[in-house]
Amino acid sequence: MKTLIFATNNDHKVAEIKSVLNNRFNLLSLKDAGINIDIPEPYPTLEENAREKARVINRLTDEDCFSEDTGLEVTSLNGEPGVKSARYSGENRSFENNIDKLLLNLGHQKNREAQFRTVICLIRKGKEKLFEGVCKGTIIAERKGNAGFGYDPVFVPEGAEKTFAEMPLNEKNLFSHRKKAMEKLITFLLSEEAD
């Protein structure tokens, strides 16, 4: 079975990706691979940051790997927090503080439209390839649910009546940006494997 390193320090992402892979590949998180570094995300786009994370780990290990960068893009906030989603609340960043800042900035805004966008960067045999997944939805005024992570308690995906944080993982996967991007990656890898 092919082994792939997933260049992330986010355990929630690892759990979600593993649920989609369903044992089709042997996934190693950075922790599994014994790598303990905070990978920089210095760029203004998800694409550039995803590339940077994959390149750092590929240089370090010389192994095939992939990374992902995800942002919550809110229409009435001109696409914010976007690429800054993880560090939206600054120095004292936490999922809690990030949601507080988001709800404060949205205030009583009528337009609550938003989307999660995931960009995966795969480095395989030295070549880079990007895969994107988008999930449209709305931001509600108060948190609901305890599952998931990040902005899940205030995000209701299009076609659902509850937040991501009110869904078990298999239900989040029916809508998820990350799952959509992963399916594209898996299709690509399986076609490459057939080569």
Region 18-57 residues binding ligand ITT, contact defined as CB under 6 A: 41
The nearest distance, CB 144 to ligand ITT, in angstroms, is: 13
Query: Has 69 been annotated as catalytic?
Result: yes
> Per-residue x/- mask for ligand ITT, residues 115 to 134, rule CB under 6 A?
-x------------------
Spatial neighbors of 46 by CB under 8 A, at least 6 apart, are 69, 70, 71, 82, 83, 117, 118, 119
**Site membership for ligand ITT, residue 148 (CB under 6 A):** yes
Query: Could you tell me which of 82, 60, 58 has the C-alpha nearest to residue 71?
Result: 82
Round to whole Å and give the CA distance between 55 and 90: 26
Round to whole Å and give the CA distance between 48 and 50: 5
Q: Which of 150, 156, 157, 167 binds ligand ITT (CB under 6 A)?
A: 150
Helix (H) or strand (E) holding 164: none
Which is closer to ligand ITT, CB of 8 or CB of 115?
8
Task: Single out the segment in contact with ligand ITT by CB under 6 A; choices: 17-25, 58-66, 69-77, 124-132.
Answer: 69-77
**Site membership for ligand ITT, residue 58 (CB under 6 A):** no
> Following CA atoms 13, 17, 19, 21 in sequence, which dihedral angle do they give, to the nearest 10 degrees?
-170
Output the six-digit token pair for 14: 């690892």
User: Is the distance from CB of 30 to CB of 57 less than 8 angstroms?
Assistant: yes
Task: Single out the segment in contact with ligand ITT by CB under 6 A; choices: 8-16, 100-108, 124-132, 139-147.
Answer: 8-16
**Site membership for ligand ITT, residue 9 (CB under 6 A):** yes
Round to whole Å and give the CA distance between 65 and 69: 14
Active site residues: 69
Residues that bind ligand ITT (CB under 6 A): 8-10, 13, 41, 69-70, 72, 85-86, 95, 98, 116, 148-152, 164, 178
